[in-house]
Structures are given as C-alpha cells and as structure tokens.
Homo-oligomer: A and B are copies of this chain.
Amino acid sequence: MRYSFASRTVSLLSSPLRQIRENARLNSFISLAEELPAQELFPVKLLEEAAQDVLASGPDVLQYGEPEGFRPLREWLIAEWENRKNAMIVPSQVLLTTGTQQAIDLVVRLMVDEGDSVLVENPTSPGCLQVLSMQGARVIPTVSDGNGLLIHNLEQQMKLHRPKLLFAAPTFSNPTGGVWDLGRRQDVLELCRRYSVLFVEDDSYGELDLNLKRGEVHLPSLFALDDGGRGGQVLYIGSFSKTIAPALRTGWAAGAAPVIEGMTVLKQLADTQSSTMNQRLLHRLLAGPPFSWHDHLALLNKEYATRLKLMLELLKRPLWKEVTWRVPEGGMYVWARLPEGLDSAILLKAALPKGVAFLPGGLCTAGKEGASYIRLNFSHPGRDELFLGMNLIGETIAEFTARS
C-alpha cells in the first residue's frame, strides 16, 4: 500500500543525519558527526558489580516501578544539586527520562500547540530543533555573543512573539561549547519572569568542563538562580549519558511540580516508563564506594581536554587556514566556520565518499547562517582516527577553496 505520513514528518524523513549514519556503519569510516562519549572511560567493571548487587536483591528490580523514576536516584540528584549547585528541591519536582532528548520531547508536547512561538538560542542542538519542528512550533532563533543571549534583542522578541518557551544551554552548549556570564544569566531569567516564558535549560554537557584552569568555580545554573530551583521559571534538564554511559538511557527534568506532573503523564503515554532496573544500577554505582562521582568527572574532563587540545592543534594546520573557530570551554564539540561561500551540506556530500563525516551546521541552526558552519566531535574518535579524519575533512575543504 501507499503510506500517507503525517504532514510534519516529511522534512524529518529527509534529514542528512540518516545518510551520515548509513555511512558510519561501514568499516574504516570516520565520523566526527557523532554525539558519542569515549567508551574507554565508562566504569564498566563497577557497573558489572553494581548489576550483580542489584539483580541479587530479587525480582522487584525487574517489575514496573514509579513512572517518575526510581526514587532513591531522584533523591541522589537532589542531594547533589543541594551540595554542589545551590538548588534545593523535593522529589515531586524531578522526573527521570530516557535521556535529555526525551525530556525535551515531553516538555514540548506538554506546552506547545501548533503555531506557538518558541525562542531558541542559535545555534542549538539538532535534537531540540527536530522536536520543535515535529510539534509544529514557530521556531524563533535568538542572537548571542560570546557571553550569552543579547538582552535587548531578546526582550524585543519576547514582546513581539509572546513565546511559550525559551530553549538554551548556558553552560557548554551543543554545538558551541560556550558559557554565559553571570550577568547575562540573571538578565535572561528576569526577562523570562517578566514575559512569563518558561526557560528550558539544557545542561546535558554541563559537567564537561574543559577549562581546567577555572577549576571548581562553576557558574550557577539559571535553575539555581531561580530561587534555588523553587521559582518555577526554569525547567532544568540533564543526563548521565555523557558522564557515565549512554546505554543506561537515564536523564532527568527538574522544575515546578505542575510541569513535572504533566510531563509524567505524557511520559506514560510515550513509553509507560523508563527502565527502573537501569536507574537502580546507576544509583548503586553513584552511591559508591568504590566509585567516586567527582573523581570520575575529573578524569573525564582531563581526557577530553587532551583530545580537544589535539583537535585544536590539527585545526592550525595549513589545510584549515581559512576556517575559524572559538575554543570551547566545555562539551564535546568544536563549532567551526567554513571559508566564505562554502556550504557545509555540499562539503559533506564531497566528504562522505572519502570515508569521513562531520555534522553540517544547518542541523544546529534555525536560520540560514548554519550553512557556513560545521560541528566537529573530539570526544569519541581515538587519536589516529582524529588525525586521519581531520586530515580528510581539511583536504575536502582545501579542494573547494582551491577551485574558487
């Protein structure tokens, strides 16, 4: 039969991500397009021990659990936020999700009717833009400089469009790895209050702090600034996918009780619940010893800083001479601007047959300027792959610039 799909799925089905993924399955293909953490750093041995403990405790582990997620893990998160992040909330304000992607999908399904305006930091994560497009939101990109969103411009947009949500990642965004300064955080929160806009704070990469010199001084999240997480103006989302391991599929949303309740109802409709077994595993690990969460983060950040350093060295090579970038302060990516006139989607078509991929910037942007950018991942490829991959991409760029 001929299948007639829903109208909003059509653009999703033709996304270039599918082509990248098909290629990435081939042996010897190098993908710098991925969002994968380094598997060498997964605490696999300790998770094996945790699994033994958890499954030995009996069949309850394998039953359906609370749809909000395993309560001791929600309590662990709350204690962590209280100790390290100046937020003090209660368990009914936390929902465990299947990664941040599900948290984004749920809040958008809860809040957004077709045609509703939603502001997004630009560039932003591809997953966020896809969800908004699927829900029929009117996506309005908002401008930032190196220190956060531009306040005057943001206020104009709020006045004009009356958006329901503002999506942003103030700490180590995907793709730029940038950080908003404290003043900008306070000002944006204040505007959200004034115009009654829910701020969705994507903190997926917030623990991946590569600026080791800054050390322990973290800027507060907007969630913490919003009366220690109790103000109701911010929905804070995050995940263990980049810090512990993706296959545990555990993220969270924390915010006002009515929003969390609504998301919980929608989560039951979407997949009944996430795996409480995996949530128990994570909780067993985190409650350690022998595992130390903070030592683990330090190890991760040291290794990722080394990988970033290598990528930055490679970007200085002659093949890359017309490409510009800002050094990311955290996260897993370098967001690089191509030479004038070169389109990243066209560049990708030329790169794939060479056995290499990057993420074309259009997937991270709501406007058109994304076509001038590419996103390069440095957390996953090994040293040799990174050398070879950067060389192949650099060559492809050089071939275009030599022609023009």
User: What residue in chain B is nearest A97 (Cβ atoms)?
Assistant: B271
Q: Of residues 1 to 36 in A, which have CB atoms within 8 Å of B's CB atoms?
A: 1-9, 12-13, 15, 17-18, 21, 25, 34-36
Q: Tell which of A40-48, A294-302, A358-366, A383-391 binds the partner.
A: A40-48
CB distance from A55 to the nearest CB of B (A): 4
Q: Are B164 and A127 in contact (CB under 8 A)?
A: no
Q: Are A3 and B62 in contact (CB under 8 A)?
A: no
Question: Does A134 have its Cβ within 8 Å of any Cβ on chain B?
Answer: yes
CB distance from A163 to the nearest CB of B (A): 11
CB distance from A142 to the nearest CB of B (A): 19
A3 to B116, CA, bound (A): 14
Residue in B34, B51, B59 whose beta carbon sits within 8 Å of that of A39 in the complex: B59
Question: Does A276 have its Cβ within 8 Å of any Cβ on chain B?
Answer: yes
Question: Does A322 have its Cβ within 8 Å of any Cβ on chain B?
Answer: no
Q: Are A111 and B63 in contact (CB under 8 A)?
A: no
Q: Tell which of A83-91, A148-156, A258-266, A303-311 binds the partner.
A: A258-266
For A226-269 the 0/1 string (1 means CB < 8 A from B) is: 00000011000000000001111100000010110110011011
Number of interface residues of A (CB under 8 A): 86
CB distance from A292 to the nearest CB of B (A): 18
CB distance from A274 to the nearest CB of B (A): 7
Question: Does A275 have its Cβ within 8 Å of any Cβ on chain B?
Answer: yes
Q: Are B269 and A18 in contact (CB under 8 A)?
A: no
Q: Are A62 and B246 in contact (CB under 8 A)?
A: yes
Given the interface pairs A4-B164, A269-B101, the reply to whether A62 lies near B247 with Cβ below 8 Å is yes
A266 to B109, CA, bound (A): 14
Q: Are B127 and A269 in contact (CB under 8 A)?
A: yes
Q: Are B62 and A134 in contact (CB under 8 A)?
A: no
Q: Are B62 and A42 in contact (CB under 8 A)?
A: yes
A111 to B40, CA, bound (A): 40
CB distance from A193 to the nearest CB of B (A): 7
Q: Are B269 and A248 in contact (CB under 8 A)?
A: no
Residue in B5, B60, B99 whose beta carbon sits within 8 Å of that of A110 in the complex: B5
Question: Does A355 have its Cβ within 8 Å of any Cβ on chain B?
Answer: no
A56 to B45, CA, bound (A): 7
Question: Does A272 have its Cβ within 8 Å of any Cβ on chain B?
Answer: yes
Residue in B3, B9, B198 whose beta carbon sits within 8 Å of that of A266 in the complex: B9
A249 to B62, CA, bound (A): 10
Q: Are A15 and B271 in contact (CB under 8 A)?
A: no
Question: Does A377 have its Cβ within 8 Å of any Cβ on chain B?
Answer: no
Q: Are A111 and B5 in contact (CB under 8 A)?
A: yes
Question: Does A186 have its Cβ within 8 Å of any Cβ on chain B?
Answer: no
A66 contacts across to B, CB distance below 8 A: 25
Q: Are A276 and B262 in contact (CB under 8 A)?
A: no
Question: Does A372 have its Cβ within 8 Å of any Cβ on chain B?
Answer: no
Question: Does A131 have its Cβ within 8 Å of any Cβ on chain B?
Answer: yes
A268 contacts across to B, CB distance below 8 A: 17, 101, 127, 130
Question: Does A270 have its Cβ within 8 Å of any Cβ on chain B?
Answer: yes
A40 contacts across to B, CB distance below 8 A: 59
A125 to B21, CA, bound (A): 35
Q: Are A196 and B2 in contact (CB under 8 A)?
A: yes
Question: Does A102 have its Cβ within 8 Å of any Cβ on chain B?
Answer: yes
Given the interface pairs A62-B39, A109-B6, the reply to whether A275 lies near B249 with Cβ below 8 Å is yes
A48 contacts across to B, CB distance below 8 A: 51-52, 55-56
Extra inter-chain contacts (15) besides given A39-B59, A130-B268, CB under 8 Å:
A3-B198, A3-B259, A3-B262, A4-B111, A4-B164, A9-B110, A42-B59, A42-B62, A51-B52, A61-B247, A98-B274, A102-B270, A105-B269, A247-B277, A249-B271
Q: Which 8 A-B pairs have the closest CB atoms?
A: A62-B245, A48-B55, A98-B271, A247-B277, A102-B271, A39-B59, A51-B51, A42-B59
